[in-house]
């Protein structure tokens, strides 16, 4: 296109030079020539000792042959204690070999990551050189373009061709940079079902806070070292939130589970009562549609937000033009033009102010409402999930979704409005304004935009990692200091003051070193970007001045317009770079939010009819077989058949772990059995409306869950105001032996108790739990070892409350008691003994005693003061002993009892142990 051979030669030389630099960067990044991945990540390549090592890819999809690994994991977690019977284990040695391979790979990654950091430093340096080369050649090309005579058609063609070349040079660089980074990056690990993006081995030491998304621990010593798998799309902030990291310990466990060939199933958080759900994938397009759907009710406010962003940015970009025109009017001495432009300026400024106000209100309103809607939707979705979903998920993982992921998924929306759209409008309008004034100066000035953005971007990335590590060291120091100060007496007694001081100094020194490094880095970046920015200003003034002097249709005011605009356009361009990441981050967080919002439980709480009958319900378990998903190899209930007759009491007893509580969970339909059915008044539980049915059940469980609320609110938990009166609450509390202690509290029933009821004793909590069950006037009462965790005195009080409760509801309520204590179960209409998930004995107290089986043995052990094999903890032994003493005490004649009491009190006098004795 009219270019001379010399020009073509130069263009080719530039292209060759750039490609050579890219190749050099690749070579430095890989540490080998010809370019080839380092052996540590190559598939199955032999290691230095000649043995074949598993590759990262191999670990991410370990073959099914590692069933033994599953057993190793079960052993490690204490789930399996004996060699498996063949169903789980294929060969223990195979599992051990696999485990050591996993460890070897982790160790190898540790070395690889250390070497890799040095390689990446050289690679990045080569890329910076390549970029400098592109930037300098771009400026040189721009200068050539503006000097081309465009009055001839060949000149126009040449200017056009060179402008395209200028663009291409920059484009080439970004393309090559992407290729180099791709080629030199290590192989990713895909933790299927856990995270959708690829993960890379990284060493996070001194790189700020990162938390493992599985165990929620800070990556570091506690997690088995600083090596971790990190997602490069989901980058954490300085406080370690928002990123996706998996620590070595969790990876080891996951890799072991992967060995069972059930990658997705083992790791998926998405599951219901029937098992894991299909993997959830959200494409960028689907994510945008989901957000738009959520924004639909906010369409009005979103339109106002969008329009006001466009108007305010458009006018802001146009404002420098007005300022330039005012200057031109001044230079030419045109009063009329001057007044006209001043008026225009005032009007534009006024409109910008008003529109900015509208923009700010609209964008913030939209964000707040969207966040609120999504938060409520997500919490609602979490609440409706099956209990099996929670069995597999740590509470930390779920709260992270409600906090981190939710804000990450929604935050980019105002940022996209305020920055992305705003910056695009600023660039488009600003560029058009500049172009309309002078295309030459525009090309020249714009060649500086990219280098300034590049330098600032490089520095911003470096500075944020530096600041994050500084913060880590400071917080390590503070953590150590606060621990030492809290335990100052121990520090003194062990003379550990100097050691603590040395640790503190060590952390602070590291932080200071990083801070000093930052000071130099910041200075260098300021110097470089200052040079570039001043360079651009110089070009604008110099070439603009020449154009004015040449009377090339360019006026003084245009130089003002350019100078003002260039600064704004430069920050818009840099902002755009940062904004590009926001939607990517938002999408991965959005995926984690939407996958829960869309997850439908297998046990629906919305369908079905309410249960019939009002005076106790009959419950039948027919051929029930049940296994927990998290323990697929253990059948908890085997062909269990039992009937709770309406208004009658059924007691369940048996060894710990035989499945008693599981029966009560199935009765509440927390889970569905794999085989058989539960019938309530001859209607399958699956056909009942669960909330209505569960309202008919009163539960007193082994551990009482109390909330931070008043005593009255805790007793009436889950009930609406119309369902009870204060008199009902008092009555229930009185029956539960709780009224007396409640009245001693500062504000009686209105006293607020701490989370989990930590400010109450175990017995008090249990009595509140009994009151909670009673106030609902239940048709089914479940008492699950209500006294198992109490001392003798509290046990007696709670026992009394239970007996009062049973008298109160007898005949009107079907009662299921799970207990070991003879006094609790002996009056039941029917007693069933469970053993390893099967009903082995069934009948009344007398029937079972006469059978002389397990029940009789258990009772005789209790009466002889021996341990009940069902519960062999020291606390249980002590309970048994004290109950035995009480029973003996009851049998003594009155005078002997008085005498014994007197001598007991005399023994304990002055030792403050009267009550305990």
Ligand X SMILES: Nc1ncnc2c1ncn2[C@@H]1O[C@H](COP(=O)(O)OP(=O)(O)OP(=O)(O)O)[C@@H](O)[C@H]1O
Cβ-based nearer residue to ligand X, 388 or 715: 388
- Cα distance between residue 438 and residue 464, in whole Å: 38
Cβ-based nearer residue to ligand X, 14 or 655: 655
659 contacts ligand X (rule: CB under 6 A): yes
241 contacts ligand X (rule: CB under 6 A): no
Of 457, 632, 657, 691, the residue at the interface with ligand X (CB under 6 A) is 657
630 contacts ligand X (rule: CB under 6 A): yes
CB of 401 to ligand X, least distance (A): 21
Cβ-based nearer residue to ligand X, 391 or 800: 391
Backbone phi, psi, residue 640, to 5°: -85, 130
CB 209 within 8 A of CB 218: yes
Backbone phi, psi, residue 281, to 5°: -125, 130
* SS3 annotation, 847-898: HHHHHCCHHHHHHHHHHCCCCCCCCCCHHHHHHHHHHHHHHHHHHCCHHHHH
Pairing, β 619-627 against β 635-644? antiparallel
632 contacts ligand X (rule: CB under 6 A): no
628 contacts ligand X (rule: CB under 6 A): yes
List C-alpha distances in Å: 552 to 39, 140, 162, 333, 565: 63, 22, 21, 20, 21
Of 115, 631, 743, 913, the residue at the interface with ligand X (CB under 6 A) is 631
Give the single-character DSSP code of 144.
Answer: H
What distance lies between CA 54 and its chain's CA centroid?
Answer: 30
130 contacts ligand X (rule: CB under 6 A): no
Of residues 715, 737, 881, 888, the one with CA closest to residue 800: 737
250: number of Cβ within 10 Å: 22
CB of 658 to ligand X, least distance (A): 4
- The window from 307-315, 416-424, 652-660, 807-815 that contacts ligand X (CB under 6 A) reads 652-660
- Cα distance between residue 210 and residue 888, in whole Å: 61
Cβ-based nearer residue to ligand X, 422 or 658: 658
- Cα distance between residue 598 and residue 289, in whole Å: 14
24 contacts ligand X (rule: CB under 6 A): no
172: number of Cβ within 10 Å: 18
Sign of the C-alpha dihedral, residues 526, 531, 532, 538? positive
Cβ-Cβ contacts under 8 Å for 817 (sequence gap 6 or more): 649, 650, 651, 652, 783, 824, 825, 828
658 contacts ligand X (rule: CB under 6 A): yes
674 contacts ligand X (rule: CB under 6 A): no
For residue 471, what are its two tokens? Answer: 């913060």
CB of 758 to ligand X, least distance (A): 23
Backbone phi, psi, residue 551, to 5°: 55, 45
Cβ-based nearer residue to ligand X, 581 or 873: 873
Tell me whether residue 846 is exposed, middle or buried, using C-beta atoms within 10 angstroms of its C-beta: 0 to 12, 13 to 18, 19 or more. Answer: exposed
Cβ-based nearer residue to ligand X, 260 or 325: 260
- The window from 12-20, 181-189, 650-658, 880-888 that contacts ligand X (CB under 6 A) reads 650-658
CB of 657 to ligand X, least distance (A): 4
Cβ-based nearer residue to ligand X, 213 or 660: 660
For residue 878, what are its two tokens? Answer: 């002590």
Q: How many residues bind ligand X (CB under 6 A)?
A: 12
Cβ-based nearer residue to ligand X, 388 or 559: 388
- What is the contact mask toward ligand X in residues 347 to 386, using x (rule: CB under 6 A)? ----------------------------------------
List C-alpha distances in Å: 744 to 414, 751, 770, 838: 52, 10, 19, 46
Largest CA distance in the chain: 130
Q: For 738-762, give the DSSP string.
A: -HHHHHHSTTGGGPEEPGGGTTS-H
Of residues 861, 347, 917, 243, the one with CA closest to residue 592: 243
Of 391, 500, 633, 842, the residue at the interface with ligand X (CB under 6 A) is 391
Cβ-based nearer residue to ligand X, 111 or 630: 630
CB 2 within 8 A of CB 158: yes
CB of 267 to ligand X, least distance (A): 17
661 contacts ligand X (rule: CB under 6 A): yes
CB of 80 to ligand X, least distance (A): 12
Of 326, 444, 636, 736, the residue at the interface with ligand X (CB under 6 A) is 636
- Segment holding 532, helix H or strand E: helix 497-549
CB of 698 to ligand X, least distance (A): 18
Of 656, 710, 844, 882, the residue at the interface with ligand X (CB under 6 A) is 656
CB of 51 to ligand X, least distance (A): 38
CB of 894 to ligand X, least distance (A): 38
- The window from 173-181, 423-431, 446-454, 627-635 that contacts ligand X (CB under 6 A) reads 627-635
Cβ-based nearer residue to ligand X, 302 or 701: 701
Give the single-character DSSP code of 629.
Answer: T
249 contacts ligand X (rule: CB under 6 A): no
Site residues for ligand X, 777-796, by CB under 6 A, read none
* Residue keyed to tokens 């209409």: 829
Cβ-based nearer residue to ligand X, 395 or 682: 395
* Residue keyed to tokens 């056009």: 160
- Cα distance between residue 112 and residue 39, in whole Å: 9
Cβ-based nearer residue to ligand X, 438 or 788: 788
CB of 289 to ligand X, least distance (A): 37
Cβ-based nearer residue to ligand X, 628 or 741: 628
Cβ-based nearer residue to ligand X, 562 or 621: 621
What distance lies between CA 486 and its chain's CA centroid?
Answer: 31
479 contacts ligand X (rule: CB under 6 A): no
- What is the contact mask toward ligand X in residues 587 to 626, using x (rule: CB under 6 A)? ----------------------------------------
660 contacts ligand X (rule: CB under 6 A): yes
- What is the contact mask toward ligand X in residues 813 to 852, using x (rule: CB under 6 A)? ----------------------------------------
- The window from 33-41, 481-489, 628-636, 722-730 that contacts ligand X (CB under 6 A) reads 628-636
714 contacts ligand X (rule: CB under 6 A): no
Q: For 297-361, give the DSSP string.
A: GGHHHHHHHHHHHHHHHHHHHHHHHHHHHHHHHHHHT-HHHHHHHHHHHHHHHHHHHHHHHHHHH
Sign of the C-alpha dihedral, residues 4, 7, 13, 18? negative
- The window from 34-42, 254-262, 660-668, 892-900 that contacts ligand X (CB under 6 A) reads 660-668
Cβ-Cβ contacts under 8 Å for 444 (sequence gap 6 or more): 142, 143, 146, 539, 540, 543
- The window from 213-221, 266-274, 292-300, 659-667 that contacts ligand X (CB under 6 A) reads 659-667
CB of 628 to ligand X, least distance (A): 3
Of 662, 716, 779, 794, the residue at the interface with ligand X (CB under 6 A) is 662
List C-alpha distances in Å: 904 to 892, 907, 911, 916: 15, 5, 12, 11
CB of 268 to ligand X, least distance (A): 16
- The window from 118-126, 233-241, 277-285, 651-659 that contacts ligand X (CB under 6 A) reads 651-659
338 contacts ligand X (rule: CB under 6 A): no
Q: Which residues bind ligand X (CB under 6 A)?
A: 391, 628, 630-631, 636, 656-662
């Amino acid at each position: 296109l009219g270019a001379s051979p010399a020009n073509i030669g130069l263009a080719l030389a530039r292209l060759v030079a750039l490609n050579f630099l890219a190749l050099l960067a690749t070579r430095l990044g890989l540490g080998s020539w010809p370019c080839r991945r380092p052996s540590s990540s190559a598939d199955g390549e032999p290691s230095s000792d000649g043995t074949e090592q598993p590759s990262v890819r191999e670990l991410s999809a370990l073959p099914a042959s590692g069933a033994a690994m599953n057993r190793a994991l079960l052993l490690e977690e204490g789930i399996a204690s004996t060699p498996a019977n063949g169903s789980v284990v294929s060969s223990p040695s195979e599992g051990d070999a696999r485990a050591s391979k996993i460890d070897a790979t982790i160790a190898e990654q540790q070395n690889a990551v250390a070497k890799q950091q040095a390689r990446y430093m050289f690679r990045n340096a080569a890329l910076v050189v390549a970029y400098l080369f592109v930037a300098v050649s771009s400026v040189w090309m721009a200068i050539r373009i503006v000097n081309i005579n465009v009055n001839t058609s060949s000149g126009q063609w040449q200017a056009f061709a060179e402008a395209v070349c200028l663009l291409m040079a920059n484009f080439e660089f970004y393309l090559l940079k992407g290729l180099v980074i791709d080629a030199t990056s290590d192989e990713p690990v895909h933790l299927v079902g856990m995270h959708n993006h690829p993960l890379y081995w990284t060493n996070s030491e001194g790189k700020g806070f990162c938390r493992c998304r599985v165990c929620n621990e800070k990556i570091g010593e506690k997690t088995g070292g600083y090596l971790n798998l990190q997602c490069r799309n989901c980058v954490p902030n300085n406080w370690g939130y928002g990123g996706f990291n998996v620590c070595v310990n969790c990876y080891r466990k996951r890799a072991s589970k992967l060995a069972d060939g059930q990658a997705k199933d083992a790791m998926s958080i998405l599951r219901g009562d029937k098992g894991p759900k299909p993997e959830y994938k959200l494409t960028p397009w689907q994510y945008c549609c989901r957000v738009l759907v959520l924004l639909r009710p906010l369409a009005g406010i979103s339109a106002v937000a969008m329009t006001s962003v466009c108007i305010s940015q458009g006018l802001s970009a146009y404002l420098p033009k007005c300022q330039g025109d005012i200057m031109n009017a001044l230079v030419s001495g045109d009063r009329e033009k001057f007044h006209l432009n001043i008026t225009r300026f005032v009007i534009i400024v006024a409109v910008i102010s008003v529109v900015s106000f509208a923009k700010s209100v609209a964008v913030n309103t939209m964000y707040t409402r969207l966040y609120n809607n999504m938060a409520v939707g997500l919490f609602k979705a979490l609440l409706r999930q099956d209990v099996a979903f929670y069995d597999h998920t740590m509470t930390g993982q779920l709260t992270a979704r409600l906090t981190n992921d939710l804000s990450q998924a929604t935050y980019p929306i105002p940022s996209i409005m305020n920055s992305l759209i705003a910056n695009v409008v600023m660039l488009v309008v600003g560029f058009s304004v500049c172009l309309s004034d002078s295309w030459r100066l525009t090309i020249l000035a714009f060649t500086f935009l990219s280098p300034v953005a590049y330098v600032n971007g490089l520095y911003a990335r470096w500075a944020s990692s530096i600041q994050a590590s500084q913060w880590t060291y400071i917080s390590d120091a503070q953590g150590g200091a606060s621990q030492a100060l809290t335990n100052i007496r121990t520090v003194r007694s062990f003379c550990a003051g100097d050691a603590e001081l040395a640790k503190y100094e060590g952390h602070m020194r590291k932080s200071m070193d990083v801070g000093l490094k930052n000071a130099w880095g910041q200075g260098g970046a300021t110097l470089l970007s200052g040079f570039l920015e001043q360079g651009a200003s110089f070009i604008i003034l110099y070439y603009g001045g020449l154009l004015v002097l040449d009377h090339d249709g360019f006026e003084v005011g245009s130089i003002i317009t350019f100078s003002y605009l260039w600064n704004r356009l430069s920050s818009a361009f840099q902002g755009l770079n940062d904004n590009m990441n926001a939607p990517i981050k938002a999408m991965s967080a959005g995926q984690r939010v939407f996958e829960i919002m869309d997850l439908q439980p297998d046990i629906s709480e919305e369908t079905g009819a309410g249960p019939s009958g009002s005076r106790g319900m009959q419950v039948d378990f027919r051929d029930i077989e049940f296994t927990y998903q998290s323990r697929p190899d253990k059948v908890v209930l085997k062909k269990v058949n039992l009937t709770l007759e309406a208004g009658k009491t059924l007691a369940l007893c048996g060894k710990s772990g035989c499945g008693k509580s599981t029966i009560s969970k199935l009765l509440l339909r927390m889970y569905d059995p794999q085989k058989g059915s539960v019938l309530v008044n001859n209607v399958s539980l699956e056909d009942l409306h669960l909330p209505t049915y569960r309202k008919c059940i009163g539960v007193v469980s082994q551990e009482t869950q109390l909330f931070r609320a008043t005593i009255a609110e805790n007793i009436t938990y889950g009930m609406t105001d119309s369902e009870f009166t204060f008199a009902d609450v008092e009555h229930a509390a009185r029956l539960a032996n709780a009224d007396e202690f409640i009245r001693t509290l500062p504000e009686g029933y209105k006293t607020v108790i701490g989370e989990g009821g930590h400010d109450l004793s175990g017995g008090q909590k249990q009595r509140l739990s009994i009151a909670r069950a009673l106030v609902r006037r239940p048709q089914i009462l479940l008492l699950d070892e209500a006294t198992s965790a109490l001392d003798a005195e509290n046990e007696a009080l709670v026992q009394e409350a239970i007996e009062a409760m049973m008298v109160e509801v007898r005949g009107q309520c079907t009662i299921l008691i799970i207990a070991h204590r003879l006094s609790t179960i002996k009056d039941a209409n029917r007693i069933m003994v469970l053993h390893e998930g099967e009903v082995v004995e069934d009948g009344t107290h007398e029937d079972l005693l006469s059978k002389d089986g397990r029940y009789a043995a258990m009772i005789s052990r209790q009466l002889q003061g021996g341990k009940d094999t069902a519960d062999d903890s020291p606390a249980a032994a002590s309970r048994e002993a004290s109950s035995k003493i009480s029973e003996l005490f009851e049998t003594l004649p009155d005078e002997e009892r008085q005498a014994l009491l007197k001598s007991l009190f005399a023994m304990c006098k002055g030792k403050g142990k009267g009550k305990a004795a």
